[in-house]
Amino acid sequence: MIMNEDERQIFHLALGLACIAMVQLLGVEISAYIVSVSLIIGLILVHIKLSYVHLGKGLEWLIERFERPGALAGYGALTYNAAVLAILTLISSQPQILASLAILGIGDAASTIVGKRSKQKLPYNARKTYGGTLAFFIFSAPFAFLFAGPSALLVCVAAALAESLESRIDDNLIIAVVCILLFKLVGG
């Protein structure tokens, strides 16, 4: 079975929406505990996988289905969890947390889905497109604005631009750092 990037991004989007719902239903503190536990379990599973132990059909299927070829098994899930945990613990305003989760979950997924289909490459990063960067903003901005108001639009723009830069750092982490720093700067 081969990973389909669209399915991977839809899964990314679904996780983002689930995180938003979890924060709204359970609150920030309980959500942070749940994400912390899932991150620890994920690290244990990655360690087991790196030890060449079979994880069982269900987990092996998930890894094969949703991890990019050549990537460390579970790497994407771990960086996503780490990004969500950073947002939950380093931003103190629940509206800004929700906006950041929308930017991470919706914007990042939209940028890949649209960017894959766009032709015009960015002059500073041949792996990214104008369409993907614009989609990041267009799809995340309404949700971020709904949660945190006008200041969230600045954060969306900055996160979209940061995601478009060439970097060896996972974009989940970059987006989380941008959201955290900018929401700290704009207050709330």
pLDDT on residue 2: 45
User: What CA–CA distances, in Å, run from 96 to 12, 81, 91, 136?
Assistant: 20, 18, 7, 18
pLDDT on residue 1: 42
pTM of the model: 0.89
Average pLDDT over residues 149-170: 96
Q: How far apart are CA 20 and CA 27, in angstroms?
A: 10
Domain region containing 12? 5-186
3-state secondary structure of 63: helix
- Residue 34: CB atoms within 10 A of its CB come to 16
Q: Which tens digit of pLDDT belongs to each residue from 35-76?
A: 999 999 888 877 777 776 666 676 666 666 556 566 666 778
Residue position matching structure tokens 């959201």: 179
Per the structure, how many domains does the chain have?
1
